């Protein structure tokens, strides 16, 4: 009997609006997007895809209205030649603007404003729609290879994370370490791993986390958090297919509240309303 694993979650947060988009993956060839109103903690199903979305090469516009993502569908004779970067209306996947890629090197991008985005690597245009346009003047800093870190690490640095250790030895595999300050003197540390020797149920790229308070000499490892971020004075994280929120107090994490369990979700065909 095949072993089953919890749904895998990765979240994008809009910097200028209280909204987000959750990528929910599982089984391996199925992924969906879910809109998240962070003010009310209500969730709206977007669309499912039979294929692979590289969530670490995705981004959400500051106002939360548009999504850029990179995906592979495996049909190399289609107009996108099997892989593509799309700009859609969040939380939907239907492309307003569509670029073909033809391989899985680079792809995806970042929003440089509500109206413009940076396209990661060489593409060919398939469809140009109304909405954000390519920012041809933007030159990203740093060099992080041609796969997921090429977008993911730049997104982390843009969103207030600091690179503490680049390509460090890690605890189980090579990793890059990022930190973000939290209330009451705590910091959130992210171990961004990239290795083929990944834990069972994870992909080549995976994250682990810990909380630390230097003055109190307190450290709380939370390796089961696959995604975590600050949301105002609270901490939000994904663990075993469930999204949680808790206040961060002087003594540490307050009572965790489960916001949504994504595990029961199953593939369904849905059309975007545009």
pLDDT digits (tens, 9 = 90+) for 24-77: 999 878 999 999 999 999 999 999 999 999 999 999 999 999 999 999 987 777
pLDDT at 2: 56
The Cα 148–Cα 55 span in angstroms is: 8
Six-digit token pair at 126?
């398939």
More confident residue, 250 or 274: 274
| 64 Cα distance to chain centroid | 14
Instruction: Tell me the DSSP string of 187-221.
Output: EEEEEEEE-SSPPTT--SEEEEEEEEETTTTEEEE
Kindly tell me if the per-residue pLDDT of 161 is higher than 80. Answer: yes
The Cα 246–Cα 257 span in angstroms is: 6
Domain spans in the chain, listed from the N-terminal domain onward: 8-261
Q: Which of 124-133, 153-162, 173-182 has the lowest mean pLDDT?
A: 173-182
The Cα 181–Cα 166 span in angstroms is: 18
The Cα 92–Cα 11 span in angstroms is: 14
* Residue 90 DSSP code: T
């Amino acid at each position: 009997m095949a072993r089953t694993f919890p749904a895998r979650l990765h979240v994008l947060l809009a910097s200028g609006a209280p909204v987000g988009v959750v990528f929910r993956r599982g089984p391996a060839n199925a992924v969906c997007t879910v809109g998240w109103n962070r003010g009310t903690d209500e969730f709206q199903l977007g669309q499912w895809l039979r294929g692979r979305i590289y969530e670490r090469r995705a981004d959400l516009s500051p106002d939360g209205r548009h999504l850029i993502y990179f995906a592979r569908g495996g049909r190399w004779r289609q107009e996108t030649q099997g892989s593509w970067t799309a700009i859609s209306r969040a939380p939907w996947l239907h492309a307003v603007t569509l670029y073909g890629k033809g391989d899985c090197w680079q792809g995806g991008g970042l929003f440089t404003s509500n109206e413009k985005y940076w396209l990661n690597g060489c593409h060919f245009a398939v469809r140009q729609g109304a909405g954000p346009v390519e920012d041809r003047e933007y030159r990203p800093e740093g060099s992080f290879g041609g796969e997921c870190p090429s977008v993911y690490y730049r997104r982390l640095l843009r969103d207030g994370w600091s690179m503490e250790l680049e390509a460090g030895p890690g605890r189980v595999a090579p990793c890059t370490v990022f930190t973000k300050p939290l209330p009451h003197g705590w910091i959130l540390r992210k171990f961004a791993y990239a290795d083929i020797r990944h834990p069972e149920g994870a992909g080549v790229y995976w994250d682990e986390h810990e909380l630390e308070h230097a003055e109190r000499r307190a450290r709380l490892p939370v390796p089961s958090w696959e995604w975590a971020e600050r949301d105002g004075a609270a901490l939000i994280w994904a663990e075993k297919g469930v999204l949680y929120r808790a206040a961060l107090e002087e003594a540490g994490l307050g009572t965790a509240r489960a916001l949504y369990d994504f595990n029961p979700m199953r593939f369904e065909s849905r059309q975007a309303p545009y």
